[in-house]
Copies of this chain bind each other. A is one copy, B any other.
Amino acid sequence: MHRTEPGLVETGSPAHHWRVQAHLPVDYQVEMTSGVLDPSNLALLEAGATVRADRLRRFVVVDATVYDLYGDNLRKYLDHHNVEYSICVLPASEEAKTMESVFTVVNRLDAFGISRRHEPVIAIGGGIVLDIVGLVSSLYRRSTPYVRVPTSLVGLVDAGVGIKTGVNHGFHKNRLGSYFAPAVVLLDRDFLATLDDRHVSNGLAEILKIALIKDARLFQLLEDHADLLLAERLTGQTQTGDAVAGEVFSRAVGGMLEELQPNLWEKQLERVVDYGHSFSPTLEMRALPALLHGEAVTIDMALTTVLAEARGLVSARDRQRIFHLMTKLRLPTWHPLLEADLLDHALQETVRHRDGLQRMPIPLGIGAACFLNDLTATELANAAQTLRDLHHPSVAAVATDSRPDPVA
């Protein structure tokens, strides 16, 4: 990126033109830990706090589901450390990811009162709650430090580690939001013990994304150990399971951060991590609440894998491996809404979002990606049809069989 030197340049006498240049430094930590709510683990207490006070004060926002499961532990943790605290419980659903929820947190924050620079807001929950609290923190008094503690697998490997915040508005996903870095992100796999199967798979979709676009070794790990990872929910109940989950995590988070760090504000519009996010935003919003984020992303990846195969960028064998792994990870590879009009609309939205070009990340075999700008509506419709056929092979076969034989 072109770097400009900070400063103020005046032109004219008396001056009538000024150019203001500056850099906002961003610096945050992403840390794997374990037993984050165990009183002997000080990470949560110390995260983002620059000054040691006599008595700590913390404002904590917790996902309702997480609160049901870990609320007691959280209170015990805070009580043990004699923290004065207020806990704000938020429902976590796409429908509740609105400015109304932002106001709920803001009003509770107003009532509690914090020393904005030394009492970081703590957000514990899935990606939705982290996105909401991130937005609150960026808006509250124009910026208030916060700590992210993702509890879902999507949060741990994707939504939790970047700097994006946002809420839905008027049927548009993340229409209002900001780029606002947390002070610290604490990643604790232990939360996954209580995650339901569907949400484990949901998170594996984002790990699979990183594998497909940049990490063949990660793909191999997922392929070799899918059942073990699912059975142990990546929490490492066996020695092998722990070693595999640890490496999967490290590669997924590290790979994600490698892509994010040089492009935190998304000025560069060609982003491999956008893979699976070209058609899924529209699909996810239209299908609400039927599809989870990672499910919609997987359907998008399935579609674009088929597209890539049709272009000769992915072999039939690799396409089969990919679909096989998706299914093994209990992720969907098709959805009935995947029709031409939805795809056209989604592509239009994505092109607008990417400043007039498709900039469509597409797999190159397994573990690499390139970008397409010349995808056609026909290609898309064909890919959707192929996907439908793959999903309903018997129907496709019957349809083929019933075609009048041109030779007969």
In the complex, residue of chain B having the shortest beta-carbon distance to the beta carbon of A10: B254
Interface residues on A, range: 35 or more
Copies in the complex: 2
A264 beta carbon closer than 8 Å to chain B: yes
Other-chain residue from B1, B15, B142, B253 in contact with A250 (beta carbon distance below 8 A) = B15
Asked if A17 is at the interface (CB within 8 A of a chain B CB), the reply is yes
- Whether a CB of chain B sits under 8 angstroms from the CB of A31 is yes
Looking at chain A's contact residues, the main secondary structure is mixed
- Is there contact, CB below 8 Å, between B23 and A23? yes
- Contact in complex: A178, B28 (CB < 8 Å): no
Q: Which of B7, B116, B352, B355 contacts A261 (CB 8 A)?
A: B7
B contact residues around A264 at 8 Å (CB): 20, 22, 24
A94 to chain B, nearest CB (A): 18
> What residues of chain A have their CB less than 8 Å away from a CB belonging to chain B?
1, 3-4, 6-8, 10, 12, 14-32, 99, 103, 106-107, 110, 113, 115-118, 138-143, 164-166, 169-170, 172, 174-179, 181, 246-247, 249-251, 253-254, 257-258, 260-262, 264-266, 352-353, 355-356
Given contacts A14-B250, A15-B253, A17-B29, 13 further A-B contacts (CB under 8 A): A3-B23, A4-B25, A14-B246, A14-B249, A18-B254, A20-B257, A21-B25, A23-B26, A103-B169, A139-B177, A140-B176, A142-B178, A143-B265
